[in-house]
Amino acid sequence: MMRWVLLLWLAVGLPGCGTVAPPPRHDIAAPVELRAEEGYGWWYAAFRFHWPKGGAPAWHRDLMVAHRIVAPVLSRHLREIRLWRIHRRAARDGAGHQFSFIFYATPATARRIYAEIEADPDLAELRRRGIVEAVRLDDTARITRPGLADTSDPNWNEVIQITWPAYIMGVSAMWLELVQRLAAEQAVHGLAEDDYRRISAVLDRLWADHARHAFLHHLNAVYGYQPFWDRY
């Protein structure tokens, strides 16, 4: 009897020896609450990357910060955040190449999120390596953007400004979920830039192959295939 127990243990137990547990997945989806609330405001955590003159932006670094820093902190505070989104940009101006995590919450929640970001060991490593040059966090002593439309483009129609945060949160959630899934598929566990270059290349390919139908066609369908005029 003991022989069979030992054989069963060997058959079931040994294949797991030496395996590395996959990194935890982070829940980044929550119901949209599209209403302003007393005591809430918009907050930015903006990460500025090193961008040498004459070079192209290292867009894969946005993915590094999104996957390693933003997704975990978002997951931990998801129920305290009413709305959120990400913003990517690179221009030869004062902000440079910058990735932003923008969220609608109370000052107390913002302080907790900021403290966790500042204490993140991955951020410390990215700073040490000169990849992240600066992190801009808002002053939580007072709320300066209490309205739903306070981070929307002021040139838009007012109702668009108010409802746009729900749209862009869905877009951001899909993008961040894609980043997480691609990182899991490629077993990315660290801060190797080549890993994130590969993920960024796959993401670019997915956009190139599917933007016309999966993204833009179905967005057009939601609005009844009505004509539009691009004044941007």
Domain segments of the chain: what residues? Answer: 38-221
User: What is the pLDDT, as a whole number, of residue 232?
Assistant: 60
C-alpha 45/C-alpha 116 separation (Å) is: 11
User: What is the pLDDT, as a whole number, of residue 35?
Assistant: 84
Beta strands in the chain (DSSP E): 41-49, 83-90, 97-105, 132-137
C-alpha 46/C-alpha 86 separation (Å) is: 10
CA distances (Å), origin 151, targets 12, 91, 200 = 55, 19, 27
- In 3D, which of 64, 25, 20, 89 has the Cα closest to residue 194? 64
Report the first-to-last Cα separation within the chain, whole angstroms: 77
pLDDT per residue of the chain (232 residues) written in tens, 0 to 9: 444 444 434 344 444 444 556 667 787 665 667 788 899 999 999 999 999 999 999 999 999 999 999 999 999 999 999 999 999 999 999 999 999 999 999 999 999 999 999 999 999 999 999 999 999 999 999 999 999 999 999 999 999 999 999 999 999 999 999 999 999 999 998 999 999 999 999 999 999 999 999 999 999 999 999 998 866 6
What angle, rounded to 10 degrees, do the helices at 193-210 and 158-185 form? 120
Question: Residue 83: which residues within 8 A CB-CB, separation 6 or more?
Answer: 32, 33, 34, 103, 104, 148, 165, 166, 169
User: What is the pLDDT, as a whole number, of residue 195?
Assistant: 97
C-alpha 185/C-alpha 203 separation (Å) is: 13
User: What is the pLDDT, as a whole number, of residue 81?
Assistant: 96
User: What is the pLDDT, as a whole number, of residue 228?
Assistant: 84
User: What is the pLDDT, as a whole number, of residue 86?
Assistant: 98
**For residues 60 and 8, is the Cβ–Cβ distance under 8 A?**
no
User: What is the pLDDT, as a whole number, of residue 31?
Assistant: 62
User: What is the pLDDT, as a whole number, of residue 226?
Assistant: 94
User: What is the pLDDT, as a whole number, of residue 16?
Assistant: 44
Dihedral (C-alpha) 81, 85, 89, 94: value to the nearest 10 degrees?
Answer: -30
